[in-house]
Amino acid sequence: MNKDSKSSVPRWFWAVAVVALLWNLMGGMVLLSEVFAKEAMMDSFTEEQKEWSRATSPWIYLVFAVSVLSGLTGSIALLKQRGLAVSCFAVSFVAVVVQMGYTMLIAGGLRVMGPTGAVMPLLVVSLAMVWLFFAKYSDNQGWL
């Protein structure tokens, strides 16, 4: 596809791409906070929640970083209209599912944090899926 036809994407494409970028930037801020300011983030936690959070396996932060970095790269690829966005968002989605699945189900996050603690993980998984589907749709439309 030539450059002219790629530039004729609808305005809403740019709005969605910017929202994806902002969402993934927020994910980066959360990652940095969890790695470098974990104790401050746990001020409102119960003692059980603090113990559970401190016992989080280090590898889960690597998976978190993969999800955030691939999501950020995918968002930038969307804004640059590159097909790489699809692969990046696919990696991000898989990493998010691994991270949230392990944290909430295997490591007991749902038990410790309660049902309201599942809201954000469900939102994160849902949006990771939305970004992936949006990138695939955009690619199929010839916008990437």
DSSP string, 63-109: HHHHHHHHHHHHHHHHHTT-THHHHHHHHHHHHHHHHHHIIIIIS-H
Q: 45: which DSSP letter?
A: S
Torsions phi, psi for 80 (to 5 deg):
-95, 5
Which residue stretches of the chain have pLDDT < 70? 1-7
What span, in angstroms and rounded, lies between the C-alpha atoms of 79 and 74? 9
Distance CA 91, CA 85 (A): 10
Please write the tens of the pLDDT for every residue from 69-89.
999 999 999 999 999 999 999
* Residue 4, pLDDT score: 52
Q: What is the structure's pLDDT at 22?
A: 98
37 φ/ψ angles, rounded to the nearest 5 degrees: -140, 40
**What does the alpha-carbon distance between residue 45 and residue 4 come to, in Å, rounded to a whole number?**
53
DSSP 110-124: HHHH-GGGGHHHHHH
Q: How far apart are the first and last CA of the chain?
A: 9
